[in-house]
Amino acid sequence: MLSYVSGTSDQPLLYQTVGATLERAAERWPARDALIIPQQNIRWTWRQLNDEADRLARGFLSLGLKPGDRIGIWAPNRVEWVVTQFASAKAGLILVTINPAYRLSELEAALNKVAARALVLAPSFKSSNYVEMIRQLAPELGTGGARDLKLARLPHLRSLVLMGDELVPGFIAYDSLLRDADACGDLQQLATQLQPEDPINIQFTSGTTGLPKGATLTHHNIVNNGYFVARRQRFTEHDRVCIPVPLYHCFGMGMGVLGCTTHGAAMVFPGEGFDPLAVLKAVDQERCTALYGVPTMFIAELDHPEFASYDLHSLRTGIMAGAPCPVEIMKRVVAQMHMREITICMGTTEMSPITFQTEPDDTLERRVSTVGTIHPHVEAKIVDANGRVVPLGVRGELLTRGYGLMQGYWEEPQKTAEAIDQDGWMHTGDLVILDEAGYLKVVGRSKDLIIRGGENISPREIEDFLYLHPKIQEVQVFGLPDQRLGEIVAAWIKLKPEMECTVEEVQHYCRDNISHHKVPKHVSFVTDIPMTVTGKPQKHIMRKMMVERLGLQDDRAA
């Protein structure tokens, strides 16, 4: 049998726009909770959320924005983010989601790359003062009006919408845009022109290597992926989902917002950014039935000093995604957080994003050793270096295709062609094994494999072993250049609170249990591990730092 699977379902694909999805939720569950954001005192029903989205959509039209125009959003998790997501969709705009952590050069490159005509932004987040950063990019702000900007370094940008009601020269106050735009534009007429295949979102891939590319996604892509991710968790309008992951990524805005909208489940955003205590409070106070996060988030919640003070018995399900789940962490999530039906997901931004997910009643073993089975209406195959499909149980690269496949990287046809072949298969770069039951096991990234003296070493195998050490909280294993062997094994380790450990102790622990060539030669104890927003470890950064620290010669590009 060859390593190929296709997802079947008794539920056909939805064929509707993002705006229509919200309209239907407001019609089906008008008085039920839709959006809860404690720090902003927001508790809106589906009808209220739809009304707010309509008002903002008219506001966008009043700025002269037209269907197909790109509008950026640069903000943490706030009510305005969710409203902007739906309002831009109703106005036919393409929402460009920008990492709140971006610095000036990154912001400038992102906005110019997609020729964004407007930017919705928060005043600040953490140590970033967004208003001052924009002024550095555009010192001419405030010398003229705010409705038709002409900025030298941002030549396409015409409007800056600042969240809140403060009047700042050069910026349009978000609240005033809502107040002044009630009579602008015929949204019903516009809705008849919008198509599910229209592009609706540009997601900058947060990948572990290289410069970000703009994955262009359609209504059809993200509405359906959100729907089927939530359906596998068996969501209904009685569920309440705690979403501490960032909105600017598919995990927050797709799997989170659209998954809830297609099923009528309430969205609970515990804070602007991730705070484990805020998550615990929100789950307790709002009686959340589901919780989303990456493994590091769940670890932080479990290890919080006040963890035992909160009642989490309302939890049933949720998603852990972004990186492999250590066995011990999954055991604690099920036992201590009562998430007996938690699911594991895997995917890529280019597939909108999820392609594999475990079932709520899968065994603990399957949840930690696999990423589940294929999603409905999606195909996957595993190929060798020559592009030939391998037999079941044989390692190869994962290729996927289906309704979730992006239109392409924004104005980068060459990079699109490198990622998607002529038969429509997305080449993920993930090394995987498919078993006879259709469960997929991820064994690493093709670029992460360590080749030591001609032997292929999987970092994941060593990481899984080191997670069993009683003092280790998090670990990442990667290769370092070596003149004699080609590469050698290195590990970054974050210890559990109040724990102390030595390099020799780690190496001795390994020597007694795994092959000698897999024992890390270099071990660094760290307080933080660089991650992408989706919880993927940025091993190229760790490698670069270690190469510089050790004075090694590295011929491989980061």
How high does pLDDT run on average in the chain? 93
Cα–Cα distance measured from residue 456 to residue 106, given in angstroms and rounded to the nearest whole number? 36
- For the record, the structure tokens of 312 come out as 């989490």
Residue 207's pLDDT is 47
- The owner of tokens 């509707």 is 16
Does residue 272 lie in a domain region?
A: yes
Q: Identify whether residues 278 and 380 lie together within a single domain.
A: yes
* DSSP state at residue 114: T
- Comparing 96-105, 258-267, 489-498, which segment has the lowest mean pLDDT? 96-105
CB 335 within 8 A of CB 312: no
First to last CA, the chain: 37
- The owner of tokens 């998607």 is 420
| Rounded (10°) CA dihedral 288, 293, 298, 299 | -160
In the chain, % helix, strand, coil (3-state, to 5) comes to: 30, 25, 45
CB 330 within 8 A of CB 337: no
pTM: 0.86
Average pLDDT estimate for 214-234: 98
- Domain stops at, among 402, 418, 445: 445
Does residue 17 lie in a domain region?
A: no
* pLDDT band for position 557 (cuts 50, 70, 90): very low
Residue 457's pLDDT is 80
Domain that holds residue 255: 4-12+204-445
CB 550 within 8 A of CB 524: no
Cα–Cα distance measured from residue 43 to residue 433, given in angstroms and rounded to the nearest whole number? 45
Phi and psi of 541, rounded to 5°? Answer: -70, -45
Indicate which CATH number applies to the domain containing 228: 3.40.50.12780
Q: Identify whether residues 378 and 499 lie together within a single domain.
A: no
Cα–Cα distance measured from residue 462 to residue 518, given in angstroms and rounded to the nearest whole number? 7
Cα–Cα distance measured from residue 200 to residue 146, given in angstroms and rounded to the nearest whole number? 26
Q: Residue 378's closest CA among 357, 361, 402, 396? A: 402
**272-309 tens-digit pLDDT:** 999 999 999 999 999 999 999 988 899 899 999 999 99
Residue 288's pLDDT is 98
**108-166 tens-digit pLDDT:** 989 999 999 999 999 999 888 999 999 999 999 988 888 899 999 999 999 999 999 99
Is beta strand 486-495 parallel, antiparallel or unpaired with respect to 472-482?
antiparallel
Cα–Cα distance measured from residue 289 to residue 359, given in angstroms and rounded to the nearest whole number? 16
Does residue 67 lie in a domain region?
A: yes
Domain count, the chain: 3
Q: Which residues pair with 523 in a beta bridge?
A: 491
Indicate which CATH number applies to the domain containing 171: 3.40.50.980
Q: Identify whether residues 67 and 116 lie together within a single domain.
A: yes
Average pLDDT estimate for 263-277: 97
Does residue 555 lie in a domain region?
A: no
Indicate which CATH number applies to the domain containing 518: 3.30.300.30
Does residue 35 lie in a domain region?
A: no
Residue 514's pLDDT is 83
Say if residue 445's pLDDT is above 80. Answer: no
Q: Identify whether residues 390 and 520 lie together within a single domain.
A: no
- The proportion of the chain whose per-residue pLDDT surpasses 70, expressed as a percent, equals 96
- Domain stops at, among 390, 410, 445: 445
- For the record, the structure tokens of 527 come out as 């307080």
Q: Identify whether residues 420 and 529 lie together within a single domain.
A: no
Does residue 294 lie in a domain region?
A: yes
Q: Identify whether residues 349 and 434 lie together within a single domain.
A: yes
Q: Identify whether residues 119 and 208 lie together within a single domain.
A: no
